[in-house]
Structure formats: C-alpha cells, structure tokens
Amino acid sequence: MNFKDQVFEQVKRIPKGKVATYGQISNQFKILNLKIKIDARIVGWVLHANKDPKVPCHRVVDRNGRIAPNFAFGGAEEQRRRLLAEGVKFNDKMHVDLKLCFWQG
DNA sequence: AAAGTGACGCATT
DNA sequence: TAATGCGCCACTT
C-alpha cells in the first residue's frame, strides 16, 4: 500500500453527482496519516498517470471547481460531459458548482 | 545526487 | 479567463 493506492481509494469513495478537490484529498491524508505527506500536486499527478476506469477521476477538480484541461480519458470536454451526466452543474465551461456538488469526505 | 516535470494552491497582475 | 511566480512533493533521467 503506497500513497497512490490511498489516493485511488479516496477517489473511489466520491459519490455519484459529487466532486472533491485535489487539495481536500491531500489534506485528508495529512490529517489521517501524518507519516504520509501528500500534496495537491501529487494527487493530480497520480490521477493523470492513472488510466484505470475504476477510478472516477472526473469527480476530482481543483480548489476552484475547475476541471482538468488535460483530462486523460478524452480531454476536458469529456470530463465535463461525464459530470453533467451525473447531475453536477456547471457555472462556466470549465467550472463546476462546488457550492452544490462539493463532497465533504 | 541534481535537475526537470506536473490534472495543484495561493497571491497578483 | 489567462499569465507569472513561489512553494509544494514524488517520480524519472
């Protein structure tokens, strides 16, 4: 079990129709497991490297609710479609409505 | 060991 | 929205 797997486990827990942020996820590790230092940047790096469809990467956005410009499954457009299909609302082309869809782990 | 890289975060312009 | 700059951590070369 390394930090990557822990990130995946956390991402898999995000419920349908909700989104979490890179910062929030990394912050949870800092609280629950002080030995493992994880930065928001690492979370993004792990997700980008990941290509496993089991991990709902599209539910992870940055702290402003902005989706990834280089989404690994087909680009930002694809990520946006997936979120809309789950009921996540968008304020702009690149921003989800965190006020309504932010997942409190 | 050192440097380059990146789906970030935050402040500023 | 976009562009810089600094701080951050793990990975690859």
Domains, chain A: 3-101 (1.10.10.10)
**In the prediction, which pLDDT does A37 show?**
78
pTM to 2 decimals?
Answer: 0.91
| All residues at 6 or more sequence positions from A25 whose CB lies less than 8 Å from its CB, including other chains | A7, A10, A11, A38, A40, A43, A60, A105
d(CA A1, CA A79): 28
Determine the protein residue whose CA lies at the shortest distance from the C1' of C1.
Answer: A94
Checking if the pLDDT of A51 tops 90, the result is: no
Which nucleotide lies at the shortest CA–C1' distance from A3? C10
Checking if the pLDDT of A30 tops 90, the result is: no
